[in-house]
């Protein structure tokens, strides 16, 4: 949308727009008070046309009542609730970072997966917050029985400092809720519902655990678990829970983690983790010996590198918005910022002096002292220094797991030995270059690959060594599936009845066998992934394969459906694997345009009609320019990106 203009909203100043949804807008805001004190927070404001919707307002009030009682480091804190003019609003803690949806989208653009340790840590922290909410009691010790019902990637926030917080209890269900969902009405995002939620059945806290399992599965695989081309199909797929473990899509996911994910995703709630603490403990045990504190620091570096440009842009917008807000605040009268005693005009027109509030303050301080409380006086410089720039990571790290576990391996990086054994963690490596990684073990074929080291990232690699096979003279080719070596030594047989003796014939050395796999696609330019690892783009000649072995190959090209197939390499020579890619069906999207101020709507230069009411039409996927010529002569402009099959809304 167009650059946001700072505006006042009651005692708050909205300095930057974070998001606009179908029901509310979210802003970064500043509040100011006496002595130069200022606070950064977030304002969630109901859209003006929904303020007369009693059902929605009741649900919004429920969110305030439920969330304000939740005081936990893994839940976004609510500060205030109220109504200014025709807008209900919530003020809440500002989490400077991204939601999980934004993180996965950014990684998909870079064709990368979220590192497993970060996916596990985010799920661990999410489980901590859920357990607190699920077991929360009121002041008399009665369970509130809170169920979030909308645990989804867009409601899990990850700060740039590595904190994880659950947001948006907008449709949460609690024992104290005044608002009750009608029977048969589904609340929440369809793709992240539990089977019982998709069926419209009675829910308990284990529904949130299933939703958390979906998010963990998607973080580990980078794929949408229940995404289909229609809501009906999605709900049916969820009810059936016909899914594969994460390792089927990401071979680097260990079996132990597979078990945790699949238990959280059990169709029957009785087969799942029975509370979120069980899930948290399972993830904590899997992470050992890593600790949440150390992982949080690593995640912070990861976030700051991944969103470096966004952080810079957000800080610039916040600084400018704060400057304008401070000027607006300074230009307005603030009588409460003055002395405690001030003159006031009575109804008769005479001047009266406001009573001193010092006795009240003295009494209040006395009560605090008697209660044993600690009074902390917070002061702030009138003009605080700008926030420090995050320290950018300057080194990379490498983690190897070598199979089979009994191999006595030696590991080399650019021909320099960096370790031995089957487990290796090497930190402090210089980034920004491609290096040759080599693993050598007696009795096994040497393994090598070229890898890229990136600052702030840990490269994880699982290496499976192929044993060297010694064939007999009448068996010139290795047995099917044996993982034959490129070179083998053939020794003449010794008769059984003869005593052992030195071989009379010299050893015969078989020259290394070279095989080529040529990957071709129509159209060309597709990314080639072999056993989940990117090896190049088509047309491509690949020479790193083992003769006679089968590989899982996938072609990916923007705008085309991916193709997966099995490629068996020949025992020698070369073989071509050609695939024709089918174009993806491009579904139209829907765009809605609404303005609280009357005007004529133009989208991509075409007139749509007058708003209000809202103007909605089908549009082609892509970015669309929006212009509203208001009846008072003013103009609003902006743009909105619409994905295939998506519904987007632009609100002015």
Catalytic residue list: 150
Q: Is the dihedral of CA 143, 144, 150, 155 positive or negative?
A: negative
Please report the beta strands in 115-181, taking only residues with DSSP state E, as ranges in sequence order. Answer: 156-159, 164-166
Q: How far is 211 from 387, CA to CA, in rounded Å?
A: 36
Token pair of 455 as six digits: 């600052």
Q: How far is 637 from 643, CA to CA, in rounded Å?
A: 20
Q: Is the dihedral of CA 61, 65, 66, 70 positive or negative?
A: positive
Q: How far is 578 from 519, CA to CA, in rounded Å?
A: 6
Task: Compute φ and ψ for 158, nearest 5 degrees.
Answer: -125, 120
Rounded alpha-carbon distances, angstroms, from residue 568 to 248, 321, 478, 511, 572? 19, 60, 15, 22, 12
DSSP for 379-439, written as a single string: ---SSPPPPPPPPPP--EEEEEEEESTT--EEEEETTEEEEESSEEEEEEE--SEEEEEEE
Token pair of 247 as six digits: 């390792």
Task: Compute φ and ψ for 551, nearest 5 degrees.
Answer: -125, 150
Per-residue DSSP letter, 35: G
Q: How far is 81 from 64, CA to CA, in rounded Å?
A: 7
Q: How far is 267 from 193, CA to CA, in rounded Å?
A: 12
Task: Compute φ and ψ for 151, nearest 5 degrees.
Answer: -70, 110
User: Given the structure tokens 């303005």, which residue do they identify?
Assistant: 595
Residue 619's DSSP bridge partners are 589
Q: Is the dihedral of CA 631, 632, 637, 642 positive or negative?
A: negative
User: Given the structure tokens 């410089």, which residue do they identify?
Assistant: 381
Q: How far is 607 from 617, CA to CA, in rounded Å?
A: 12
């Amino acid at each position: 949308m167009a650059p946001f203009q700072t505006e006042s909203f009651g005692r708050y100043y909205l300095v930057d727009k974070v998001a606009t949804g179908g029901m509310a807008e979210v802003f970064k805001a500043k509040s100011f008070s006496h002595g130069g004190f200022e606070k950064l927070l977030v304002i969630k404001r109901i859209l003006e046309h929904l303020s007369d919707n009693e059902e929605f307002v009741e649900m919004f009030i429920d969110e305030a009542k439920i969330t304000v009682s939740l005081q936990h480091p893994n839940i976004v804190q609510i500060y205030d609730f109220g109504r200014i003019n025709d807008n209900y609003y919530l003020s809440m803690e500002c989490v400077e970072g991204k939601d999980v949806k934004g993180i996965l989208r950014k990684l998909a653009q870079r064709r990368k997966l979220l590192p497993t340790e970060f996916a596990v840590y985010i799920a661990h922290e999410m489980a901590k917050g859920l357990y607190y909410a699920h077991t929360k009691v009121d002041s008399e010790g009665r369970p509130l029985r809170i169920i979030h019902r909308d645990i989804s990637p867009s409601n899990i926030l990850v700060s740039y400092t590595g904190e994880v917080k659950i947001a948006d209890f907008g449709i949460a269900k609690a024992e104290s809720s005044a608002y009750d969902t009608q029977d048969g009405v589904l609340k929440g995002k369809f793709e992240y519902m539990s089977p019982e939620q998709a069926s419209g059945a009675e829910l308990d806290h284990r529904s949130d655990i299933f939703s958390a399992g979906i998010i963990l599965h998607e973080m580990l695989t980078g794929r949408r678990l229940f995404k289909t081309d229609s809501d009906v199909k999605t709900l049916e797929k969820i009810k059936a829970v016909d899914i594969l473990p994460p390792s089927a899509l990401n071979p680097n996911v260990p079996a132990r983690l597979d078990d945790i994910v699949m238990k959280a995703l059990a169709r029957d709630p009785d087969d799942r983790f029975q509370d979120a603490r069980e899930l948290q403990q399972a993830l904590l045990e899997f992470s050992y010996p890593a600790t949440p504190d150390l992982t949080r620091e690593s995640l912070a570096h990861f976030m700051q590198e991944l969103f470096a440009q966004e952080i810079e842009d957000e800080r610039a917008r916040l600084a400018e918005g704060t400057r304008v807000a401070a000027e607006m605040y300074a230009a307005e009268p603030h009588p409460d910022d003055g002395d405690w005693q001030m003159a006031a005009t009575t109804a008769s027109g005479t001047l009266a002096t406001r009573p001193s509030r010092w006795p009240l303050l003295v009494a209040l301080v006395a009560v605090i002292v008697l209660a044993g409380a600690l009074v902390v006086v917070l002061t702030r410089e009138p003009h605080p220094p700008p926030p420090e720039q995050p320290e950018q990571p300057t080194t990379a790290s490498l983690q190897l797991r070598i199979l089979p576990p009994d191999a006595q391996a030696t590991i080399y990086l650019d021909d320099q030995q960096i370790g031995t054994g089957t487990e290796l963690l090497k930190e402090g490596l210089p980034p920004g270059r491609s290096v040759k990684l080599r693993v050598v073990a007696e009795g096994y074929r040497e393994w090598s690959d070229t890898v890229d080291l990136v600052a702030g990232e840990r490269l994880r690699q699982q290496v499976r060594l192929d044993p060297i096979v010694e064939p007999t003279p009448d068996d010139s080719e290795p047995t099917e599936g044996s993982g034959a070596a490129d070179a083998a030594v053939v020794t003449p047989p010794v008769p059984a009845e003869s005593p052992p003796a030195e071989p009379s014939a010299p050893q015969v050395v078989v020259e290394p066998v070279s095989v080529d796999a040529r990957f071709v696609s129509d159209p060309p330019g597709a990314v080639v992934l072999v056993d989940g690892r990117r090896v190049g783009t088509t047309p491509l000649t690949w020479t790193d394969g083992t003769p006679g072995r089968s590989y899982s190959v996938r072609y990916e090209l923007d705008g085309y459906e991916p193709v997966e197939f099995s490629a068996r390499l020949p025992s020698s020579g070369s073989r071509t694997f050609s695939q024709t890619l089918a174009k993806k069906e491009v579904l139209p999207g829907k765009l809605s345009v609404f303005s609280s101020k009357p005007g004529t709507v133009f989208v991509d230069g075409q007139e749509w009609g007058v708003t209000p009411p809202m103007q909605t039409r089908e549009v082609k996927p892509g970015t669309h320019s929006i212009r509203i010529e208001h009846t008072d002569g003013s103009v609003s402009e902006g743009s909105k990106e619409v994905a295939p099959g998506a519904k987007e809304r632009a609100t002015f």
